[in-house]
Amino acid sequence: MEYWERNGILFIPRLTKRSDLDYDLALLSNSAKTVIAPLKVDSQNLQLQHDLTDSQCSFRWSADKEAIEGIGDHDVVICPAFVSLDVPELRISSASHGTPFDTLVGRIIELGSKVSGLQLGESVVTFHPPIVKTRLIIHRSRICQLPDSWSAPVASYVSLSLATAWHVLFHLARLNRGDHILIQVNSKPLCHFLVQLAQQLGAIVFLVVDSEEERILWQELKGILASRIFNSQSSILGQPILRATGNIGVKIFITTCCGTALNDLASCLAEDGHLIDLGRKIQVKDLSRKFFTRNITISCVDLSRMTDRTLYDLLGEGLDHVRAGHLHGPPKPTITSIAELNNVFQSARSGNQSDNLVLSFNEGAMVPMLHALPPALALNPNGTYIMSGGLGALGLVIANHLVNHGARHLLFLSRSGAVTSEQKDALRNFRDRGCKVDSVKCDITNANQMKKAALICKENHWRITGIIQCAMVLRVRTPSIFIRLKH
């Protein structure tokens, strides 16, 4: 026995170790392990696969099998440069948009024929890419251009916050000049845009901060009065804030908090006020019965549930304000390499990751990678493939593969020619599939007969491109190494 088959798996004894062949076989059976290899963002068609469960997560790069040459008229191809993780989503472990990534910024490398207003090499931003690829095809409606004043890492860090702030203040809060607004949000860029936009609308901003440094920053750099900045460490904030408004209360309260802190802060809301929840953690039991007797409106905001059109319109409108110079100095992110993705993701999940991190797709980053399958065999349709002994059991199987992979002329050499019905059927099948088939009777151990076969090739101008030698008569002698084989 020269091979052994069980449950569809073929076991073939080999005397020489071939690790490259083993790796290809493992790739084919989906059992290959990743290797750490340099990421070639510019020259390889790769995709980033993720495998996320409640207990673990892993990312790996592999060949982008769906990479296609042509793109749609309204598509844009971008090469990723920076991406931010959807950290808050991860903490509740069910990102509604199905991707662990929040905002991706990339460089345009190809434009569809009907795309206007964009240029090759320009940086653009897109939200929640369902999959990350080195050659990412996106519809024109799902990208926005970066303002000149924003770098690519800043854009990947703050774009979603800008769209959120714009939506909250202009579409939900409907602020008027002189309105009191209380802002308590954990995200730095979100707080930054909410305060700046609210100030621009002439609202009076009250702010809850987490530290003395933040208080100084808002007071000195952003011009908020010290009497309107409150520290989240204080056990009671609602009543002091109410007093600071001259007991009028705040018209709008934007928050990411929940539990007793929420109930306390909500007590400074005016009658007919509006509580806008950005943390998506509020529960009815967090709020006292009295809260529900005061005509207060509650809005819960989740931009990931908005239609693409609404989301990119919001970002576009927010970016117009950046271009007009109304919004200054967005906070800067910390940049780390995409090589750290698995570690960063693990930390983010356990809540240990700062939320100002963006990942850079730096060329040559050492990343976990599944090497690509070898390219499919493509045989020369103008060549002649000689199969000595090819009319036997093995030869006909190999011949079938040759035809599958593009061979269009097979020449069989054997002493008896095609005589059995199985051989004749096989040759007919090859011809039906467009492959020319010739069979020459010839003993390959006989030099004269081989010369005659060579002459036939020459006279017919057949270009011998490959020779597969299957002509053998095996005499099994015991004990054979194969008889002792278990697998």
CB of 137 to ligand NAP, least distance (A): 45
Encoded tokens for 119: 């240029």
CB of 411 to ligand NAP, least distance (A): 12
CB of 444 to ligand NAP, least distance (A): 4
Q: Which one, 173 or 470, has the nearer CB to ligand NAP?
A: 470
CB of 406 to ligand NAP, least distance (A): 23
Tell me the C-alpha distance between 49 and 128, whole Å: 15
Q: For 23, how many CA atoms within 13 A lie in the half-sphere containing its CB?
A: 12
CB of 475 to ligand NAP, least distance (A): 9
Is residue 232 within 8 A of residue 215, CB to CB? The reply is no
Is residue 383 within 8 A of residue 407, CB to CB? The reply is yes
**Nearest alpha carbon to residue 287 among 253, 264, 254:** 264
279 secondary structure, DSSP code: S
Q: Which one, 114 or 452, has the nearer CB to ligand NAP?
A: 452
Q: Which one, 393 or 447, has the nearer CB to ligand NAP?
A: 393
Q: What residue type is 46 in one-letter code?
A: L
Q: What residue type is 378 in one-letter code?
A: A
Q: Which one, 189 or 389, has the nearer CB to ligand NAP?
A: 389
Tell me the C-alpha distance between 341 and 353, whole Å: 12
Encoded tokens for 22: 């083993």
Torsion angle defined by CA atoms of residues 401, 405, 409 and 410, in that order, rounded to the nearest 10 degrees: -20
Q: Which one, 5 or 69, has the nearer CB to ligand NAP?
A: 5
Q: Which one, 28 or 419, has the nearer CB to ligand NAP?
A: 419
Q: Which one, 1 or 324, has the nearer CB to ligand NAP?
A: 1
Residue nearest to ligand NAP (CB): 392
CB of 417 to ligand NAP, least distance (A): 7
Q: Which one, 244 or 413, has the nearer CB to ligand NAP?
A: 413
Is residue 300 within 8 A of residue 277, CB to CB? The reply is yes
CB of 486 to ligand NAP, least distance (A): 18
Torsion angle defined by CA atoms of residues 352, 166, 128 and 366, in that order, rounded to the nearest 10 degrees: -50
Tell me the C-alpha distance between 250 and 271, whole Å: 9
**Nearest alpha carbon to residue 147 among 17, 330, 283:** 330
> Tokens 């992110």 label which residue?
333
Residues lying near ligand NAP in the complex (CB under 6 A): 2-3, 388-389, 391-395, 413-416, 443-445, 470-474
CB of 418 to ligand NAP, least distance (A): 9
